[in-house]
Amino acid sequence: MDLDVREIFPEAIKNEEFLVYYQPKVSLRNYSLAGAEALVRWKHGDKFIFPDQFIPVFEQGSEICELDFYMLEHVCRDIRRWIDEGRRVIKVSVNISRKHLAEDPQLLEHLMERIDKYDVPHEYLEIELTETSTEVGFEELKNIIDGLHQNDIHTSVDDFGIGYSSMNLIRELPWDVLKIDKSFLPKSASDGKQYVMFKHLISLAKDIGLDCIVEGVETIEHVKMLKENQCFLAQGYYFDRPLPVSEFETRM
Ligand code: C2E
Ligand code: CA
Ligand code: CA
């Protein structure tokens, strides 16, 4: 891309060019709305810029931290409004880059400040820790996951199975949800090694007491495979794309 996204970031965030889109998470028990993930979209002029074109770049600097807090604050504002409007509110997960852990020793306080500013009941939020950086120490990660847990805010391991998510991190920290990455979804039950790993990832999550959700669910075959393996939470295009807030409110 020819835009220098880091250069135009300060102006863009000031002008609120970043929008929160909500992608529903669906219960496969009764196909009800079980939650949502907040995903950033950048509306620059009349064009949309997608996260893969700027998140990795922002993670090289400190822009990602500013953007994640902006997203968290906008989500809290929406939840506050939904509560005040008397809607049935569901849990929304917000992505927080691990980059924060390296940059901000007071991350927990900074997250809680934003949440409490809007007086959002903690049960309506979940933090998805995305992983992109190796530079984060175990202690920093442990402090933040423990701290959120003590504040009754759920946490999920995003993209489980790829990158740097190690078994050690799963064993040692009080996570609530394991999110299985779409790259682990088999095409069908005859998809050899892929299917065996998928099946065991789900049972690992469940057997250690974590909720399990699979992302990238695109077909009815995917849905069947989840149900056959007793995983009852799904997110993906088969159900919904990430929706602008007004459409999500209709869906709610
Ligand atoms: P992610 O956290 O793994 O989010 C899921 C991505 O999968 C989203 O891409 C979503 O639109 C896409 N997706 C959902 N359902 C399907 C499906 O059925 N099939 C396929 N092929 N894809 C599906 P998106 O919105 O482009 O975001 C890409 C990544 O950018 C996210 O991956 C996340 O790592 C990052 N990201 C997005 N918003 C934020 C944010 O506010 N903060 C941070 N730190 N990272 C963010
Ligand atoms: Ca995520
Ligand atoms: Ca993911």
Ligand in nearest proximity to the CA of 55: 1
Nearest ligand (C-alpha, residue 39): 1
Q: Phi/psi at 236 (nearest 5 deg)?
A: 165, 170
Read off the pTM.
0.95
User: What's the confidence (pLDDT) of residue 134?
Assistant: 59
Count of CB atoms situated within 10 Å of the CB of 63? 20
The answer to whether the CB of 242 falls within 8 A of the CB of 21 is yes
Q: Is the pLDDT assigned to residue 1 strictly greater than 70?
A: no
Q: What is the pLDDT of residues 11-57, one digit of tens each?
A: 999 999 999 999 999 999 999 999 999 999 999 999 999 999 999 99
Query: What mean pLDDT is predicted for residues 93-113?
Result: 91
Strands (E), 118-232: 125-130, 154-160, 177-180, 211-215
Ligand 1, atom 37, lies closest to the CA of 39
pLDDT at 99: 85
**Protein residues within 5 Å, CB atom, of ion ligand 3:** 158-159
Residue among 215, 220, 241 to mutate when testing ligand 1 (max atoms within 8 A of CB): 215
Distance 211 CA to ligand 3 centre (A): 15
pLDDT digits (tens, 9 = 90+) for 58-71: 998 889 999 999 99
Per-residue model confidence (pLDDT) at position 2: 60
Name the pLDDT band for 3 (thresholds 50, 70, 90).
Answer: confident
Two structure tokens written together for 191: 């998809």
